A and B are shown apart, each in its own frame.
Chain A
């Protein structure tokens, strides 16, 4: 059974700091891993998608890595801004496009 864990559950950093969010999963048989952002009371915004054959993806100040064999992914956010404050969710896709989500990391970037 696939379990997805995100650490830490909450993180508070001063503006400008670089930070890393962690995601681990128990079964390496995944099709892809996706990072999402969720603002309070809102839907999910896809940030980065990493296919199982890939090691990392970059978009602007975001970089996501995937180590399938060890069941780990990291989301690196460079030069954090208050607008980055949100909950960040990782999800792995298993059979039939069924996604399993972690509980999320609640990020607060203080001005």
Chain B
């Protein structure tokens, strides 16, 4: 059973481009969470999704950021018109249900130049 898979591991984008981050949860896990870790800061919750539903997006910036978890395929975190301040490590976690152990991916390190 492979762990949570995130790709790419490293992503470089120029200001104004779009960044697409992918997360494949562990087999059997229907809950996906995205977190952002800014340099020298802790992990901050962004969004919680179940298949085809956004459950809680209270941590998502109101503009340029969106997330989806389609019926088939990985969860996608999309950042439009990236700015330098979006440079961070983005982590995805999955769990089989509420209040269960969450398993994290290795993260995608986004650098905006």
Contacts and interface: CB of A to CB of B under 8 A. Distances in A.
Partners in one complex: yes
Interface of A: 31-32, 34, 36, 41-46, 49, 51, 89, 91, 93, 96-104
Contacts of A91: 43
19 contacts: A32-B99, A34-B101, A41-B109, A44-B43, A44-B91, A44-B104, A45-B104, A46-B102, A46-B104, A49-B101, A89-B42, A96-B48, A96-B56, A98-B33, A98-B56, A101-B35, A101-B42, A102-B42, A104-B42
Secondary structure at chain B's binding surface: helix, strand, loop or mixed? Answer: strand
Nearest to B59: A98
B12 to A, nearest CB: 16
Given A97-B95, A98-B48, A103 B42 contact: yes
A72 B101 CA distance: 19
Interface residues of B, number: 27
B45 A98 contact: yes
Secondary structure at chain A's binding surface: helix, strand, loop or mixed? Answer: strand
Contact of A46 (B31, B55, B103, B106): B103
B105 interface: yes
Nearest to A6: B42
A43 B91 contact: yes
B7 to A, nearest CB: 13
Contacts, number: 63
Interface of B: 6, 31, 33, 35, 41-45, 48, 55-56, 58-59, 91, 93, 95, 98-99, 101-107, 109
Nearest to A94: B45
A31 B98 CA distance: 9
Given A32-B99, A43-B105, A51-B99, A96 B55 contact: yes
B101 A99 contact: no
Contact of A43 (B31, B98, B107): B107
B106 A97 contact: no
A31 B99 contact: yes
Q: Sorted from nearest, which 6 A-B pairs have the closest CB atoms?
A: A43-B106, A44-B104, A31-B99, A101-B43, A103-B42, A96-B56
Contacts of A104: 42
